[in-house]
Amino acid sequence: MDFDLSQQQLDFQANIREFAQSEIAPRAEQLDRDAVFPTDLFQKLGELGVMSIPFDEEYGGMGLGVLDAVLAIEEIARADQSLAVSVMVSVATGLTVQRFGTEEQKKKWLPDIVSGQRICSIAGTEPDAGSDTAGFKTRARLLDDGSWSLTGEKAYITNPGTDISSFTLILAVSSPKDAEAKKYTLFLTPNDAPGYTRGEKYRKMGWRSSDTRPLYLDECELPAGAVVGEIDGGRWVLHKGYQAARLFLSTCSLGLAQASLDHAITYAKERQAFGNSLGKLQLIQEMVANMAVKVDCARLLTYRAAWQVDAGKADMKALSMAKLYATEIGSEVANMAIQVHGGWGFMDDCPVSRYLRDNRVCTIGDGSSQIQTLLIARECGLDVSF
């Protein structure tokens, strides 16, 4: 097994790290306080090529792999997970269009997303249904002229209301109300579509500078060409999009966990207690060592899952294991970093305090830890009924 990154990957990773630490990290605390999406930073990341990494060259992409995107997102999350999640949602949504969209959709919508000049989102979750996609109620009605009318509500959606938001992929029930089983279709919904509105931003525990809102569809008018994938085949397409998002969300937690470890080590070296640095205390050493092991395990799981996708060997169990472990240890390591920092770790101006708040949702979004556990058990051959 070769665990070495190529020189090209190392150079690109170092370039993103330098930008993230010099431009993003110094602003992260204030962005969190103000709860404002940093359009300028997002577009600068676009200029660096971050959003273009896994896209085909014909749409302006670099034509590189998912692992390359993981390396970049990890470095962004190491500086600010809130910005990293905005990046990863846009990339995962764009990849869904690239994989399942029509050529017309790809040519019209992808170039601005790939360049990072615009941002996009994907909307499955509703007020009463998240991981349980069978519970979705938003409905799509096929009209006589072949166009569609969407009515319903989506909740907790990332990226739809920024000043550079372009479109949202919206899943809606497309089967008749009296059908024995629901069928779903995925629609590319431009921000200016008639009958489509974005609600006010949520007040959140974390990810405060990332845009998160409810969406409202009141007989939203969409043309026949808005369908992504097959009519009535949208649920499968959405789940494929979520698989990419799960891998990238694992990466967001990995980057945050690495940042927590970084801060804990630095503080343990600098803080004086009992006549020595904290780092000379064995119980502090034990915490730091345990953090380092957890971070490296998360990295190995995440990189392996990304490598398998690039090799055409995408593995549901590997993806779920990465998502489950990385997101859970993100919170664990952030919590341990607070303990190392003591009283200062409890203060809002200490970065690790923000890390714990930010990462908490990672064990919920894109399939909760409980759902990932069930998926892993099923992939191990157990009878899991849900």
Domain definitions of the chain by residue range: 7-118, 121-232, 236-379
CA 66 and chain centroid, separation: 13
Q: Rounded to the nearest 10 degrees, what angle do helices 234-270 and 66-79 cross at?
A: 50
Burial 327-362 (b: 16+ CB within 10 A, else e): bbbbbbbbbbbbebbeeebeeeebbbbbbbbbbbbb
Domain 236-379 fold: Butyryl-CoA Dehydrogenase, subunit A; domain 3 (1.20.140)
**Overall size of the chain counted in residues:** 386
Predicted pLDDT at 274: 85
d(CA 352, CA 367): 25
User: Phi-psi bin for 16: left (phi > 0), alpha (psi -120 to 50), beta?
Assistant: alpha
What the block records as the tokens of 169 is: 């992929």
What local confidence, expressed as pLDDT, does residue 386 receive? 57
**Distance (Å, whole) CA 209 – CA 42:** 12
Whole-angstrom distance, CA of residue 166 vs CA of residue 168: 7
371 contact partners, CB below 8 Å, separation of at least 6: 131
Q: Which of 204, 172, 177, 205 is nearest to 188 (CA)?
A: 172
Look up residue 16 and give its two tokens: 């993103």
User: Residue 173: phi, psi to the nearest 5?
Assistant: -70, 125
Q: What are phi and psi of 245, to 5 degrees?
A: -65, -35
What pLDDT sits at residue 384?
A: 76
- How far apart, in whole angstroms, are the C-alpha atoms of residue 24 and residue 28? 6
Residue pLDDT tens, the chain, 386 long: 788 999 999 999 999 999 999 999 999 999 999 999 999 999 999 999 999 999 999 999 999 999 999 999 999 999 999 999 999 999 999 999 999 999 999 999 999 999 999 999 999 899 987 777 778 899 999 999 999 999 999 999 999 999 999 999 999 999 988 888 899 999 999 999 999 999 999 999 999 999 999 999 999 999 999 999 999 999 989 888 888 889 999 999 999 999 999 999 999 999 988 888 999 999 999 999 999 999 999 999 999 999 999 999 988 999 999 999 999 999 999 999 999 999 999 999 999 999 999 999 999 988 899 999 999 999 999 987 75
The CA-atom distances, in angstroms, between 29 and each of 36, 57, 159 are 11, 36, 20
Alpha carbon of 8 to those of 49, 54, 175, 342: distances in Å? Answer: 14, 15, 48, 40
* pTM (2 d.p.): 0.95
Yes or no: domain 121-232 corresponds to CATH 3.40.1190.10:
no
Task: Tell me, letter by letter, the H, E, C secondary structure of 43-62.
Answer: HHHHHCCCCCCCCCHHHCCC
- Tell which CATH classification among 3.30.110.70, 3.20.20.70, 1.10.540.10, 1.10.275.10 matches the domain 7-118: 1.10.540.10
Task: Give the per-residue pLDDT at 3.
Answer: 85
Pairing of strands 148-158, 139-142: antiparallel
